[in-house]
Structure 1
Amino acid sequence: MNRILLFCFLLILASCNTVEKVSPSVFFAGEIVNPTSKYLVLHKGEKAIDSVLLDANNRFSFTFDSIPRGLYSFNHAPEHQYVYLEPGDSLMIRLNTVDFDESLVFSGKGESINNFLIDLFLGNEKEELLVRRTYNALEADDFRNKINSLREKRLEELQNIKMEGNLSDEAYNIGVASVNYTYYNYKERYPFDHRKFNKEKKIAKLPEDFYNYRKNINFNNHQLNYLRPYYNFMRSHFGNLSYMTCSHKCIIKNNEVKNKLHYNKHKLKLIDSLVIEKELKDNLFRNVAIDYLLKTNDLSKNNESFIKEFHKLSKNNRHIKEIDNLYTGIKNIQPGNKIPNIVVTNSSGSSVALQDITKDKKVIFYFWSETNKKHYLSTFKRISQLKARKKGYTFIGINFKTQEDNWKTIINSNNLNDKFQYRADSFDELSENLIVYPLNKCIIAKNGIIVNAFSNIYDRF
């Protein structure tokens, strides 16, 4: 009898210590209402790992025998959102593209962390208005108390989900990082937003422990590279550090950086000295380069100096070709250069070169796309006003990212003269050569020569 009892005891003990085996496979599927594309593409970082065609019922499914746990993103052009996947997940989504993020709901194994992340994302959009319109007016201690209260509430929600047993340690850590870096970002931006809100001349003095959270910043966590709050924080953090620590060479007058070249070089050096994880460093370097080259409109010699520094510090950057192409494009459209001879299509279907369009006349090129209806309607209205003031100019609209039939429909429905409307077949070629940024940009040319390639339809010219 004793032996039987001992055997039963050992059997029970063994069963209690048996770890539940988790299948390494992952199933991710769902339904898309009002689809805007035939496909759904799954990415890990910037790499597309698989794509599927929607079926007749607008449903899709991915099945993987084994994939690394972590953040992924799914793209249904033109929208995208991220999803956390780990071995054993069997996750379903349903969304309506009319309200893509707002309608997104996860169900099944793996739903807890994903619903938390999407709720945090949507909540942050509303919260940001509160911070911008109300909290930024507060003094530093009051602002910090408000932000800390919001953060603690979110962490408490996450802890309750974990206590229900629905989160792995890795998923929980992603949730914590999402919360922390969201509210750390508010603090990084506070000195500048507070000054702007209160129309003050100087940045307010902060308590010595205001940035205590910086002691916990992780510059070497590969899992966080594409977590939106983490990346947004990094951008704000290095902007803050560069401004606060930059030498007199930056020439900060009236709280505005005058020497943009030195300021952005300084930012590159800070990133290089602090960020360990290469993928994050590459992305941050790219962000600084694009911001400087596109938004500063600096002298050619300064752009050249910046690019040399970029190459020096960011060797083997996987974005180097993109940045070099951007730099070359900007260099090629300086005043006095011939306008790049991009070929566009007129309403009759014939190909026409930009240099032919500008021959023997003064031309203002503007840009629009069907992807932004509000923008193109505002643009048409503004161009109509400019035509009445600038009688000596010919206004030429260049369309991109629009199907031919849709392009013609928009031209006709807005009573545009199709003689002055053209369509670019390749947005990449157009963007690389004419630097179509921002959308309100216009290019002024005379007799095929560029007068100003970085003007704006709302500027005085």
Structure 2
Amino acid sequence: MKLYLYTLLIAITLLGCKKDNTNNNGDYAFFGGEIINANNNYVVLSKSKQIIDTIRLDGNNRFIYKVDNLQPGLYNFKHGGEFQMVLLEPKDSIMFRLNTLEFDESLVYTGEGAKKNNYLINEFLRNEIEEKKIFEFCQLNAEAYKKEIDSIKNIKLKKLKKFKSKYDTSDLFNKIAQANIDYNQYFNKEIYPFVHYGHNKYDILESLPEDFYDYRKTINYNDAFLKDYFIYNSFLRWNFNNIALSEHYKHAKDNHFKSSDVCYNLDRLSLIDSLVTDHEIKEDLLHHYTVNFLNKSNNEKNNKAILDFYTSKSSNTESKAMITQYANALHNLKTGKNFPETVLIDTRNSETSVDAIINSPTVICFWSQTYYDHFKESQHKIYELSTKYPEVKFIVINVDDYGMDSALKALKRNSFTFKNQYQFKHPKASKETLALYPITKAFLVDENQKIVNGKTNIFARNFEEQLLGLINR
């Protein structure tokens, strides 16, 4: 397989050079790969949320693509709902190989430009592994916690220094690799007050060393280069969670704190509005927190306050219309209302509807191949719950628009049951009607098709209590 990849890389590089001698169309790079257990027959390549092309796989689930007029930087490639990033620079000829069963873990690059990308994907995987340790370290006092995460950062800096001494790295790679280390460290510090045990967040903030958040003085809230990078966006969200907490305590009547407090959420939105000037970054943050609040709150007055603030600050007409529609949909999904008529496709590709299959206490939950970890974890959880509570029907709906065959392949590959598995016939319209965000959302519905809870989650701590309440109604 490696021989095939290298031969192909040499061929396309020579071909590219020949072309460029006669027709110089700017910087370029070649990007391609092979996908084992492909979920469909294409890969979507994009940059900064703009789709560059949808690239077809050949009969061997391989592809090669020339990116003309290359803008050096991070690109996104997506297949079957999963995605990853690749750093492309002029004259790169990068091939990858991955297995969709272990998308990130199996991803390996070869060719010109491969080493820097293998470094970045390995750092991504290390960060995922370290996350559990970080949450454990969060239970230490602040000084001890700082020592632990400083130690992790120093190890990463030494690895980067060794990599740079061994290979000729570009300024662009150096910037991304350093940002990855820095923003992981910043992220780890921002989560500390929220993950540290104890409900009194005020006391936790007061116990922090004076220099704990010194790095905030240098933070760029409008980094156009990093705005597509996962760790930068994760940091921004937790940073605003944290600085809004401090702002909230300036006017709170007591030290009691709940993340669902409307004043805390308004403080956070206000801080975003004042600190972020980059249009895209601001819109993403305002949108994220507004939708999250609306999804969790049942207080119409508070919902209106958050929605009004958002619509007054957002300049995205389409997004404002979408969130207003989302709020209206949530209003129609309140406890006691009928579950909306929803057309489904069953595993035999026959059409049915929700009202035709609900005749007992029912849980309706959802999955997507885009969120692969949630897909696997939720299927296991549903099996566990359905075995424990046989009097409850679990209806499981795939929300993708890839067709039922693709959903069945995903279920079959993971040895999951086909029982009570469905797919929306009209995914876009159904997701809007059911205000389906986040994907972890679930509905409890009684035998009369009345909504008992429209904002629950099968992984919630009290979910089994909710099930017992549904059964005993």
Query: Which TM-score bucket, shorter chain as reference?
Result: 0.7 to 0.9
Q: Partners of 2:447 and 2:234 in 1: how far apart?
A: 41
Corresponding position of 2:148: 146
Q: Partners of 2:329 and 2:106 in 1: how far apart?
A: 40
> Using a 3 Å threshold, how does the CA distance of structure 1 residues 414 and 213 change in structure 2: closer, same or farther?
closer
Corresponding position of 1:4: none
- Aligned equivalent of 1:399, options 392, 397, 400: 397
Percentage identity across paired residues of the two chains: 30
Q: Partners of 1:69 and 1:83 in 2: how far apart?
A: 11
> Using a 3 Å threshold, how does the CA distance of structure 1 residues 181 and 442 change in structure 2: closer, same or farther?
same
Q: Partners of 2:174 and 2:406 in 1: how far apart?
A: 49
Unaligned runs of 5+ in 1: 1-20
Corresponding position of 1:286: 287
Report the residue type matching 2:27 in the other structure.
P
Q: Partners of 1:63 and 1:39 in 2: how far apart?
A: 15
The answer to whether structure 1 residue 55 and structure 2 residue 58 are counterparts is: yes
The farther-off stretch of 175-184 and 86-95 is 86-95
Unaligned runs of 5+ in 2: 1-23, 370-374, 458-462
The answer to whether structure 1 residue 203 and structure 2 residue 201 are counterparts is: no
Q: CA RMSD in A?
A: 3.4
> Using a 3 Å threshold, how does the CA distance of structure 1 residues 405 and 299 change in structure 2: closer, same or farther?
same
- Aligned equivalent of 2:77, options 74, 78, 84: 74
Q: Partners of 1:256 and 1:413 in 2: how far apart?
A: 38
The farther-off stretch of 99-108 and 315-324 is 315-324
**Aligned 1:72-151 pairs, distance under 5 A:** 72-133=75-136, 135-151=137-153
The farther-off stretch of 223-232 and 426-435 is 426-435
Q: Partners of 1:144 and 1:102 in 2: how far apart?
A: 29
- Structure (1 or 2) with the larger CA radius of gyration: 1
Q: How many residues align?
A: 426
Q: Partners of 1:165 and 1:415 in 2: how far apart?
A: 50
For residues 425-458 of structure 1, what are the alpha-carbon distances to aligned partners after superposition, in whole Å with 9 as ceiling and x for unaligned?
2333332222345546223256555443234553
> Using a 3 Å threshold, how does the CA distance of structure 1 residues 292 and 378 change in structure 2: closer, same or farther?
same
Report the residue type matching 2:302 in the other structure.
N
The farther-off stretch of 103-112 and 116-125 is 103-112
Report the residue type matching 1:53 in the other structure.
R
Corresponding position of 1:37: 40
Corresponding position of 2:427: 427
Corresponding position of 1:273: 274
Q: Is this contact kept in 2: 1:441–1:455, CA < 8 A?
A: yes
Q: Partners of 1:365 and 1:333 in 2: how far apart?
A: 15
For residues 271-324 of structure 1, what are the alpha-carbon distances to aligned partners after superposition, in whole Å with 9 as ceiling and x for unaligned?
111112211111111221222122x23312221221111111122266334423
For residues 396-451 of structure 1, what are the alpha-carbon distances to aligned partners after superposition, in whole Å with 9 as ceiling and x for unaligned?
625324726976998x99595x7xx7643233333222234554622325655544
Shift of 1:219: 1.4
The farther-off stretch of 375-384 and 300-309 is 375-384
How high is the TM-score relative to the length of structure 1? 0.81
> Using a 3 Å threshold, how does the CA distance of structure 1 residues 34 and 365 change in structure 2: closer, same or farther?
closer
> Using a 3 Å threshold, how does the CA distance of structure 1 residues 199 and 54 change in structure 2: closer, same or farther?
same
For residues 42-79 of structure 1, what are the alpha-carbon distances to aligned partners after superposition, in whole Å with 9 as ceiling and x for unaligned?
11122211121111222111102212111111111122
Q: Partners of 1:405 and 1:93 in 2: how far apart?
A: 23
- Aligned equivalent of 1:183, options 175, 179, 185: 185
Q: Partners of 1:224 and 1:319 in 2: how far apart?
A: 22
Report the residue type matching 2:425 in the other structure.
D
The answer to whether structure 1 residue 341 and structure 2 residue 341 are counterparts is: yes
Q: Partners of 1:368 and 1:323 in 2: how far apart?
A: 21
For residues 126-161 of structure 1, what are the alpha-carbon distances to aligned partners after superposition, in whole Å with 9 as ceiling and x for unaligned?
22222222x223332232233223223323332343
Report the residue type matching 2:120 in the other structure.
L
The answer to whether structure 1 residue 444 and structure 2 residue 442 are counterparts is: no
Bigger relative CO (Cα 8 Å, ≥ 6 apart): 2
> Using a 3 Å threshold, how does the CA distance of structure 1 residues 413 and 203 change in structure 2: closer, same or farther?
closer
Q: Partners of 1:116 and 1:178 in 2: how far apart?
A: 11
Report the residue type matching 1:334 in the other structure.
K
> Using a 3 Å threshold, how does the CA distance of structure 1 residues 212 and 199 change in structure 2: closer, same or farther?
closer
Q: Is this contact kept in 1: 2:30–2:65, CA < 8 A?
A: yes
Corresponding position of 2:316: 316
How high is the TM-score relative to the length of structure 2? 0.79
> Using a 3 Å threshold, how does the CA distance of structure 1 residues 127 and 385 change in structure 2: closer, same or farther?
closer
Q: Is this contact kept in 2: 1:23–1:88, CA < 8 A?
A: no
The answer to whether structure 1 residue 367 and structure 2 residue 365 are counterparts is: yes
Report the residue type matching 1:234 in the other structure.
L
Corresponding position of 1:213: 215
> Using a 3 Å threshold, how does the CA distance of structure 1 residues 258 and 226 change in structure 2: closer, same or farther?
closer
- Aligned equivalent of 2:244, options 231, 242, 245: 242
Corresponding position of 1:226: 228
Corresponding position of 1:193: 195
The farther-off stretch of 379-388 and 78-87 is 379-388
